[in-house]
Amino acid sequence: MKKIIVIIILLFVGVLLLSQPIIEFETLKYDYGRIKEEAGPHKVDFNFFNTGDEPFRILKVTAG
């Protein structure tokens, strides 16, 4: 009986590990080069995609 429970738990954990959100970015770095302060703010968008099986949820964002 204990072996059956352990096998069921291992199978359940294996399924959970296989179905996860996977985030992939188009680019990981951006070289701003030289920017003059008079030119104003410079904006760059980093695009990312979820290539996993589960939804990707962003729960908290902080400025850094």
pLDDT of residue 47: 92
Task: Look at residue 60 and give its three-state secondary structure.
Answer: coil
Residue 40 lies in a domain: yes
Do 54 and 20 meet the contact criterion of CB atoms below 8 Å apart? yes
The domain tally of the chain equals: 1
Segment 1-30, tens digit of pLDDT: 888 787 777 776 666 666 788 889 999 898
pTM over 0.95: no
What is the C-alpha separation between 18 and 23, in angstroms, rounded?
14
Q: Indicate whether 64 belongs to any domain.
A: no
The answer to whether position 44 is within a domain reads: yes
* H or E segment to which residue 10 belongs: helix 2-18
Is 57 inside a domain boundary? no
Hey, which residues does 48 pair with through a beta bridge? 25
Domain-embedded: residue 16: yes
Domain holding 21, by residue range, is 2-50
Nearest C-alpha neighbor of 53 from the set 13, 17, 8, 26: 17
